Amino acid sequence: MKRCPKCKETLPLSDFGVVRARPDGLNLYCKRCVRQKVAIQRQKTREYLAARKLTPPVKRKPNMTARGMKRACRREIRKAFTVPEKVLVAINGGAGTQKQIWSLTAIPKDAVADALAVLVLDRGVVKVKPLPLSERESWYGDNWQYIAA
């Protein structure tokens, strides 16, 4: 029998997890208290990530889920021949930042930057606007939003 300092109950040893670094070889807290702590931490993490999540402007069909939008966009990307065409399809599909374009197209970061330069400067088919301060990931990161002209 061992006492859990969190719930203050005396429980059998089978209710404690194994931690070889401890002198008795068992966790300080019972499994139930550890599960509660982990559940609370996961909930806090979910809430934090939901608050920080950047949602790009997405042009979706009625009743289309985010997963369906991503699939449709990826299908179009596979049809495109050149890297600038693939980047343009990703922007039209709702990817607004370089990070979102990388994740959607699986094109190397340097190639995406070069393609954006071609689309913005040479062809003029993409417009650039700065992200609001609240949506920026960092001061040195991806601070621009790309919009099809």
The CATH number of residue 120's host domain is 1.10.10.10
Residues 44 and 102 reside in one and the same domain: no
Q: Is the pTM of this model over 0.75?
A: no
Number of independent structural domains in the chain:
2
pLDDT of residue 90: 83
Q: Which two tokens stand for residue 46?
A: 């979910």
Given the DSSP bridges, would you call strands 16-18 and 26-30 parallel, antiparallel or unpaired? antiparallel
CA quadruple 14, 19, 20, 22: dihedral, nearest 10: -100
In a domain, 59, yes or no: no
pLDDT at 139: 52
- My answer on whether 21 and 94 are in the same domain is no
Which ranges of the chain have pLDDT less than 70? 49, 51-70, 72, 77-80, 133-145, 149
Q: Are residues 37 and 98 in the same domain?
A: no
Handedness of CA 74, 80, 81, 84 (dihedral sign): negative
